[in-house]
Amino acid sequence: MTVEADIFADGHDALLAVLLYRKDGASNWTEIPMQPLVNDRWRGTFEVDEVGDYYYALQAWVDRFESWRRAFAKKVEAGQEAALDLLAGAELVEEAAKNAVGEDSKSLIRFAATLRGDKPAAIRSGLDDALAELMEKYSDRRWAVNYGKELRVNVERAKARFSAWYELFPRSFASTPGAHGTLRDCIDRLPYVAGMGFDVLYLPPIHPIGNSFRKGKNNTLAASADDVGSPWAIGAKEGGHKAIHPQLGSLADFKRLIAEAKKFDIEIALDIAFQCTPDHPYVTEHPEWFRKRPDGSIQYAENPPKKYQDIYPLDFQCENWQELWNELKSIIVFWCDQGVRIFRTDNPHTKAFPFWEWVIGEVKRDYPDALFLAEAFTRPKVMYRLAKLGFSQSYTYFAWRNTKSELTQYFTELTQTEISDFFRANLWPNTPDILTEYLQFGGRPAFMTRLVLAAMLGASYGIYGPVFELCENVAREPGSEEYLNSEKYEIKRWDLEKPGSLREFIARVNRIRRENRALQGDRSLRFYPVDNPEILCFGKRTEDLSNIIVVAVNLDPHHTQSGWVELPSEELGLDPQQTFQVHDLLTDARYLWHGKRNYVQLDPDSEPAQIFRVRPRIRREQDFDYFM
């Protein structure tokens, strides 16, 4: 954790500054000396090695001894009389000696005596680094200034930064055709998901689905008797948010799923959708948690003229709000107790901000490794606010950023501004609600392009499958982003072995992410110029430049595009005069590049993107023993 501050005082005295930090709960501060950079800017760094909150603070003061020493050294250098200066120095040292103990005290007293003694020895002592070091240790902080605030940094585990999500509807994976898939079937699909390299398996709500006003296929108002309903319509006579839909299986099955997934290094993420159907037990047990209409009936969700009579929103500001909030917290805690640590939160922006801040803090106190992904498709400032309230990750506008300028502008904002201090993007090219026009009309190359963009621009990304790898792209109607025959409202059957599946391609991309540390964070993202608006080129790198990845993507899914990309040699530690190798990790092809501008050509049908690892040239003729 690197902290910088502008630190200065009136006059020309030397200053000292320290960065103080402590883990939340610890009573003692640890002190780190800060170093001046340029233009009155100072920097200090401390290590955070546990998840949770750390607090930090700043203190600075005038260093009287160093101020004295600088002036004294200049006088000595100029051969000026400095007898009085030596006495002034001795006074400072004697004052410090009073606060020192043991050897330090004795040392300081000896130094003071020398400063008051014979000139040549006194001068040598005045300039002695050992004295300066001791004097810094006992520097007088009576007039030290503290920065007005104690600041907080929240540390989460690495998965908050680097994760690959896969979303599936378990009910579509029955082993017998026509049956309702179960959590056990889901266990059977783990090798498939792991084979593609995902490490988070996200399940839409697994709770009992309401019957009242149940939606039929394609979100129609009238459901027929065999319609299964939307998993987000939570609550039925079988239970609410702590229950499991009977057709999916038992709690034991769920815990087995978690355990089996762990063997594949996969974590199960659950959906937190705090809303109820009219059949939810809360409706009869706690009608006071819902808003009432003037006739005493419970208010269903509305976005006039649209009505959602199958959904009752909870009233976070109801009279018994504390009871309600505690119950909602107990839902998250319940699933934590079953072993879940990752929660995808449905529409958090429509619930009370203070609730999220409170509940995330509460849950993390007992489960500090809990992570929360905000499904906040809302205005940017609301999205960012949720991140500040405690969400670990957030959905973004990625799905609708398709052109070079859109992508460059948006991801520069997310990674290069203060937003990167509190907001972590999780990029989804599709979701059960979002089948973008780019995917609808771009064919298989569009899916490959969007996969590479999501996985490379975002250290965290996810896809909703298997529709994604199977390149399903038929919308319900022109202009709609809804899937035709959406899995949200019916059980689907997927042919995972279908030719053209992107399964292998995705597996390769995820392996590249795991093997290249540069791709496991977003702050190093930089865009590079290309003289073709259809080719986007960007790079990520580790701080030590030991891992440098450059990605070139053809944004045009219909035509081969080519162009000259311009890499910033100095920034990447490349000698602009030397040849270097770029290794396409997708095809294993290797190219020798030279200078700043190099050529790329991308055919959407064969390889719409290249993911290069940049390798400085290892050997040339001068490197041979016998050269010269």
Buried b (16+ CB within 10 A) or exposed e, 456-468: bbbbbbbbbbbbb
Q: Does 140 bind its own copies (CB under 8 A)?
A: no
Q: Does 303 bind its own copies (CB under 8 A)?
A: yes
Q: Does 28 bind its own copies (CB under 8 A)?
A: no
Residue whose CB is less far from its own copies, 59 or 430: 59
Which residue is associated with the tokens 């190219």?
591
CB of 424 to its own copies, least distance (A): 20
Q: Does 388 bind its own copies (CB under 8 A)?
A: no
Residue 528 near residue 564 (C-beta atoms within 8 A): no
CB of 355 to its own copies, least distance (A): 9
Q: Does 353 bind its own copies (CB under 8 A)?
A: yes
Helix (H, G, I), strand (E, B) or coil at 102: helix
Ramachandran class of 296: left when φ > 0, alpha when ψ lies in -120 to 50, beta otherwise: left
Q: Does 127 bind its own copies (CB under 8 A)?
A: no
Applying CB under 8 A, among 385, 488, 503, 508 the residue interacting with its own copies is 385
Query: Which helix (H) or strand (E) segment is 406 a member of?
Result: helix 404-416
Q: Does 139 bind its own copies (CB under 8 A)?
A: no
User: How far is it, in rounded angstroms, from Cα 72 to Cα 80?
Assistant: 9
Residues 6+ apart with CB under 8 A from 335: 242, 270, 343
Helix (H, G, I), strand (E, B) or coil at 239: strand
CA dist list (Å): 122 to 67, 86, 135 = 18, 7, 16
Residues 6+ apart with CB under 8 A from 39: none
Applying CB under 8 A, among 25, 120, 178, 294 the residue interacting with its own copies is 294
Question: Helix (H) and strand (E) counts for the chain?
Answer: 15, 27
Residue whose CB is less far from its own copies, 11 or 178: 11
Applying CB under 8 A, among 4, 31, 66, 91 the residue interacting with its own copies is 91
For residue 621, the Cα-to-chain-centroid distance in whole angstroms is 44
Applying CB under 8 A, among 2, 6, 148, 606 the residue interacting with its own copies is 6
Q: Does 75 bind its own copies (CB under 8 A)?
A: yes
Q: Does 148 bind its own copies (CB under 8 A)?
A: no
Residues 156-195, one symbol each (x = binds its own copies by CB under 8 A, - = not), give ----------------------------------------
Concerning whether 199 is annotated as a catalytic residue, the answer is no
Q: 204: closest CA among 352, 343, 361?
A: 343
Residue whose CB is less far from its own copies, 347 or 485: 347
CB of 3 to its own copies, least distance (A): 17
Q: Does 349 bind its own copies (CB under 8 A)?
A: yes
Q: Does 146 bind its own copies (CB under 8 A)?
A: no
Please count the residues of this chain forming the interface with its own copies, following the rule CB under 8 A. Answer: 37
Stretch that binds its own copies, among 66-74, 186-194, 509-517, 552-560 (CB under 8 A): 66-74
Applying CB under 8 A, among 119, 137, 152, 379 the residue interacting with its own copies is 379
CB of 617 to its own copies, least distance (A): 36
Applying CB under 8 A, among 216, 380, 443, 616 the residue interacting with its own copies is 380
Residues 8-27, one symbol each (x = binds its own copies by CB under 8 A, - = not), give xxxxx---------------
Stretch that binds its own copies, among 83-91, 122-130, 397-405, 461-469 (CB under 8 A): 83-91
Which residue is associated with the tokens 């050294």?
73
User: How far is it, in rounded angstroms, from Cα 182 to Cα 197?
Assistant: 22
CA dihedral for 398, 403, 404, 406, sign (positive or negative): negative
Residue 257 near residue 187 (C-beta atoms within 8 A): yes
CB of 584 to its own copies, least distance (A): 40
User: How far is it, in rounded angstroms, from Cα 544 to Cα 557?
Assistant: 35
Choice among 227, 315, 327, 346 that is catalytic: 346
User: How far is it, in rounded angstroms, from Cα 14 to Cα 383?
Assistant: 44
Q: Does 382 bind its own copies (CB under 8 A)?
A: yes
Residue whose CB is less far from its own copies, 357 or 584: 357
Residue 81, judged by CB atoms within 10 A of its CB (0-12, 13-18, 19+), counts as exposed
Residue whose CB is less far from its own copies, 377 or 494: 377
Residue 236, judged by CB atoms within 10 A of its CB (0-12, 13-18, 19+), counts as buried
Q: Does 142 bind its own copies (CB under 8 A)?
A: no
Applying CB under 8 A, among 285, 302, 323, 421 the residue interacting with its own copies is 302
Residue whose CB is less far from its own copies, 91 or 362: 91
- Compute the chain's Rg from CA coordinates: 31
Applying CB under 8 A, among 37, 87, 151, 251 the residue interacting with its own copies is 87
Binders in 30-49 for its own copies, by CB under 8 A: 39-40
Concerning whether 375 is annotated as a catalytic residue, the answer is yes
Residue whose CB is less far from its own copies, 39 or 224: 39
Which residue is associated with the tokens 């599946």?
501
Choice among 267, 375, 490, 556 that is catalytic: 375
Residue 581 near residue 550 (C-beta atoms within 8 A): no
CB of 140 to its own copies, least distance (A): 13
Peptide bond preceding 305 in cis form (omega within 30 of 0)? yes
Residue whose CB is less far from its own copies, 8 or 599: 8
CA dihedral for 341, 342, 345, 351, sign (positive or negative): positive
- Cα(first)–Cα(last) distance of the chain, in Å? 48
Residues 304-343, one symbol each (x = binds its own copies by CB under 8 A, - = not), give xx--------------------------------------
Q: Does 499 bind its own copies (CB under 8 A)?
A: no
Peptide bond preceding 466 in cis form (omega within 30 of 0)? yes
CB of 347 to its own copies, least distance (A): 10
Residue whose CB is less far from its own copies, 382 or 545: 382
Helix (H, G, I), strand (E, B) or coil at 44: strand
Residue whose CB is less far from its own copies, 384 or 591: 384
Query: Which helix (H) or strand (E) segment is 106 a member of?
Result: helix 102-115
Adjacent-strand bridge partners of 582: 591, 614
Active site residues: 346, 375
* List of residues contacting its own copies (CB under 8 A): 6, 8-12, 39-40, 70-72, 74-75, 77-78, 80, 84, 87-88, 91, 293-295, 302-305, 349-353, 379-382, 385
